[in-house]
Amino acid sequence: MQLVLRQVQDRTGIVSLNHAAKRNALSRNLIEELIGALSEMKAASVRSVILRAEPGAAVWSAGHDVTELPTSGRDPLSYDDPLRRVVRSIELLPMPVIAMIEGSVWGGACELAMTCDLTIATPEVTFAFTPTRLGVPYNTAGIVNMMKSIGVPLLKEMLFTARPISAERALRLGMINDVVPSDELEGFTGQLADQIAETSPMCVTLMKEELRILSKSRPMSAETFERLQGQRRHVYDSRDYREGIQSFLEKRRPEFTGE
């Protein structure tokens, strides 16, 4: 079964999360398919991508697949983890991604939605950003990413309480672009995509990239910090790392293999 469906309608790509049985939990497999679908849309040179769940979804996405959270003392959200990779895929896609949301949004799926360039929701939608409920040390780049769309007071409330907030409040506080009745959601979002298709693609791509870079402009971007953390962990988990120490203790030349 395909966990992510994709189609091209005129100049718009439509990518649908398709794992309702698991409430579109962001498992490694679903994310791999989502990354693949996004690159297919890029290859098809669509003007924008609509990211949605199945029509009438009660849950847009339940967030990170909790069964895949590591319990071995390893960082659950390090640079190369699936959620981090799909966030970067959306950020680096040269065309806008519009999150079209029905149902509730949980945990890392809030970041998935906020990473999209535009967010349109129905009045019934709620957003619950839940790391503190799971005791998960959310990663710094993810927090910086959320700060792009959510003011710090609201983000603190969402993080410190893990309580859902309504679409109406998210709209009022500038977290999302619009709230429309569910029977108008597809038409409204399609019109938005059509308007984007009428503008200069080169300009849209340039300004999406300018905004990506400028919105991350921190003394050292959190993402750079975590990329180095990920590289460091790769090394200190490696055989060469152990070989280096062992050869020193045995007073012999190390035999490094790059593994």
* Active site residues per annotation: 64, 108, 138
Instruction: Tell me the one-letter amino acid at 48.
Output: S
- 23 forms part of the interface with ligand LCV (CB under 6 A): yes
Instruction: Tell me the one-letter amino acid at 256.
Output: F
Stretch that binds ligand LCV, among 44-52, 62-70, 143-151, 234-242 (CB under 6 A): 62-70
- 65 forms part of the interface with ligand LCV (CB under 6 A): yes
Q: For tokens 């693949």, name the residue.
A: 36
Tabulate helix, strand, coil % of the chain (nearest 5): 50, 15, 35
Give the number of other Cβ atoms within 10 Å of residue 134's Cβ. 15
Instruction: Quickly count helices (H) and strands (E) in the chain.
Output: 11, 10
Question: Burial level of 247, CB count in 10 A (0-12/13-18/19+)?
Answer: middle
Here's the x/- map for ligand LCV, 112-141, by CB under 6 A: it reads as ------------------xx--x-x-x---
- 71 forms part of the interface with ligand LCV (CB under 6 A): no
Contact pick of 107, 118, 146, 193 for ligand LCV (by CB under 6 A): 107
Q: How far is CA 94 from the centre of its chain?
A: 16
Contact pick of 59, 113, 154, 158 for ligand LCV (by CB under 6 A): 59
Contact pick of 62, 87, 98, 116 for ligand LCV (by CB under 6 A): 62
Q: Taking the complex as a whole, how short is the minimal distance between the CB of residue 171 and ligand LCV, in angstroms?
A: 22
Q: What residue is closest to ligand LCV based on CB?
A: 107
- 47 forms part of the interface with ligand LCV (CB under 6 A): no
Residue 97, both tokens: 């991604």
What are the phi and psi torsion angles at 220 (to 5°)? Answer: -135, 120
Q: Taking the complex as a whole, how short is the minimal distance between the CB of residue 106 and ligand LCV, in angstroms?
A: 4
Contact predicate 6/49, CB 8 Å: no
Q: For tokens 């309608």, name the residue.
A: 9
- 22 forms part of the interface with ligand LCV (CB under 6 A): yes
Residues near ligand LCV, by CB under 6 A: 22-23, 25, 59, 62-67, 69, 106-108, 130-131, 134, 136, 138
